[in-house]
Every structure is written in C-alpha cells, then in structure tokens.
Amino acid sequence: MPELPEVETIVRGLEPVLRGRRIVAVDVREPRLRTAIAPDFAARLTGRRIAGMSRHGKFILLALDHGGIWLVHLGMTGRVTLGAPERTARPHDHVVVRLDDGRVLTYNDPRRFGRLAVIAADATAAETAAGIDALSPALTADFLHARSRRHGRTTVKSLLMDQREIAGLGNIYVNEILFRAGVRPRRRAGRLTRAECARLAAATRSILGAAIARGGSSISDYRDGFERSGSYQRRHQVYDRAGEPCRRCGGPVRGCVVTGRSTFYCARCQR
DNA sequence: ATGATCTCCTGAGCGC
DNA sequence: TGCGCTCAGGAGATCA
C-alpha cells in the first residue's frame, strides 16, 4: 500500500513529535508478521530515546539513543499512528508503544505483511537491501541509463519497481511516472533512449513531489501518522482507470498485467 | 538474469 | 442478507 509519498508524509508528520521522546513501554500483541517480530524486540526498544526519524525508500528508520535503528516497513496495509493515552484498542493493533509524554504509537496491520525490527545502524543497508532513494539527486538520466543497460532484458516497469536499484516506487507511482514520461510499461529497459531516461528521472521527481504535497494517495487503507487521508488519488492519470478516457488525449486507458502487477497506460500518450 | 507463479494475510467489492 | 469469488498499494521464494 504505502509507497514513498505515503511513507514520507508519515515521517514528516511524526518526526517533530517523536524526536526526543523516550519509549517507556512496548506491548507486542501479535508478533506473527510476515517476518515475525523478534522475541527481544520489546526489550531492545524499552527505555530508549528516539533521536530522529527518517525514511529510505519505503522504510521508516527511527534512530535510537543507543545507536540502534528501529526499522518499520508497512507492507500493504501497515499504519503507524500517534494517539492519545486513552486511545482504545482496535482490531489488528499488533504493537503498542507508550511514550514518556503519555501518548501511544500504534502499529496496526490487517494483512500483517509489514516488518518491525531493531537493528544495528551499520546493518541498515543489508537489512533494507535498498538501492538509491527515488528522491535522491543520484536518480539521474545517467543513472537510469546505466541501470537500464545492466538490466536490459527486463521491462522498464520492473526496473523502476526493483527496490534493490531504486527504493520507494510501488505500483501506483510507477504507473503514473511512466505515463508522465510517455513510456509504455512493457518496454525493454535495454532499449530506452537517453532522452527517455531523462524524462523518467524528471517524471519521478515531479510525480513524487506532487504526491507528497497532497499527503500521498489514500485508496482504501492509507492514513498518515495522525490518521489523516491523502488526496493525490484524485490526481491519478492512469492508475485504476482502465477503460476511462485518458486525461490528456481522451483515448481509453488500457489495463493489463506486467510482472504480475496491474498496469495502466495510454497507448497514444505512451510509446 | 528474468518472468511467471505462488505465498504470506485480511477485507472490500461484486455477482448471484 | 449471505455466500463465494476476485482482487489489492509489498516482497521474497521457487521454478523454468
């Protein structure tokens, strides 16, 4: 569910509130996520102060005062929300963290595809297996062109969604980026021109920036750290619009499946 | 190296 | 109202 703009929105909202707070209690109610929460998770968090909060790709990274990192990945349906002390428990509240100001940070995840762990700071790269962040200045036409030659036989859509190369893009935003860049999802990466790579890099920045400015896309589950919805779903040009008219040329938006994921594009606007 | 397929789960939406 | 089916923003494993 949450891709880079949603995770960024959560981090921007919660960071100023969480920075400096001490964790006074951790209640793991359901450790059975796709990767189980480690038995010592609560012990490694309790008593720690949150030094800062950041994001890499779709990972939330909370720096702890003992040098460790509290890693959060939201999977498809994960939510991290800050609530009042008296907040009542809801279904799928798997972890409840009490802070020194009395407020509670809750991890809720119906499908349990997310991940929570406390890791050593120097293990972050290995644990996230993540490439450059999609908003990094390192995402240039040259970078994309080089990677497209290295993975020449895959589709451009697969390449953009490969977290080991570019971290943060998921199915919604890749569909939107490809539309903006005028590139069809099934194009072979190795046949992208340098100009197309430049358009993809520029489209990535503009789409992600616009999505962050609107608090991300709330299709059904996503809410930010204060349970607010985003509004960027209203700006989607192609995602989930199969059969509807292209907002640019009026032609039909096509729906298909690429590497197992629902895919949307305009055959006239994308080549 | 890569795509297809399956898997982990629950819930929403749809046709009947 | 309810049943059964399909699909969903992620990502890792297996197989060809």
Same domain, A23 and A120: yes
A60-118 pLDDT tens trace: 999 999 899 999 999 999 999 999 999 999 999 999 999 999 999 999 999 999 999 99
Instruction: Check residue A220 and give its pLDDT.
Output: 82
Same domain, A80 and A139: no
Distance A152 CA to B11 C1' (A): 38
Q: Using the CB atom, is residue A188 less than 7 Å from strand B?
A: no
Same domain, A223 and A173: yes
Q: Using the CB atom, is residue A149 less than 7 Å from strand B?
A: no
| CA angle in degrees (0–180, nearest 5) for A195-A157-A33 | 140
Same domain, A86 and A120: yes
Instruction: Check residue A130 and give its pLDDT.
Output: 81
Distance A43 CA to B11 C1' (A): 33
Same domain, A118 and A143: no
DSSP chain A: ---HHHHHHHHHHHHHHHTTPBEEEEEES---SSSPPPTTHHHHHTT-BEEEEEEETTEEEEEETTSEEEEEE-TTT-EEEEE-TTPPP-TTEEEEEEETTS-EEEEE-TT---EEEEEEGGGHHHHHT--EETTSTT--HHHHHHHHHHTTTSBHHHHHH-TTTEES--HHHHHHHHHHHT--TTSBGGG--HHHHHHHHHHHHHHHHHHHHTT---SSS---TTS----GGGG-SSTT-TTSBPTTT-PBEEEEEETTEEEEEETTT--
Domain containing A240 equals 132-266
Question: Which two structure tokens, joined as six digits, stand for A121?
Answer: 């700071």
> Residue A258: left (phi > 0), alpha (psi -120 to 50), or beta?
beta
Quote the number of domains for chain A: 2
Instruction: Check residue A173 and give its pLDDT.
Output: 97
| Within-domain flag for A271 | no
A10-49 pLDDT tens trace: 999 999 999 999 999 999 999 999 999 999 999 999 999 9
Same domain, A168 and A254: yes
Same domain, A143 and A124: no
d(CA A143, CA A130): 15
Same domain, A235 and A216: yes
| Within-domain flag for A252 | yes
Domain end among A128, A143, A177: A128
A163-205 pLDDT tens trace: 999 999 999 999 999 999 999 999 999 999 999 999 999 999 9
Pick out residues whose CB falls under 7 Å from strand C.
A 1-3, 6, 34, 57-58, 73, 75-76, 111, 113, 129, 161, 163, 170-172, 217-222, 260-262
Same domain, A144 and A28: no
A234-269 pLDDT tens trace: 999 999 999 999 999 999 999 999 999 999 999 999
Same domain, A146 and A258: yes
Residues paired with A85 in a beta bridge: none
Domain end among A101, A128, A155: A128
Q: What's the rounded mean pLDDT across residues A53-59? A: 97
Q: Using the CB atom, is residue A52 less than 7 Å from strand B?
A: no
Q: Which residue is nearest nucleotide C9, judged by alpha carbon to C1' distance? A: A1
Distance A241 CA to B15 C1' (A): 21
Domain end among A128, A149, A177: A128
Strand C positions within 7 A of protein Cβ atoms: 7-12
CATH code, A73: 3.20.190.10
Same domain, A168 and A248: yes
Sign of the Cα pseudo-torsion (A211, A81, A54, A19, in order):
positive
Instruction: Check residue A129 and give its pLDDT.
Output: 82
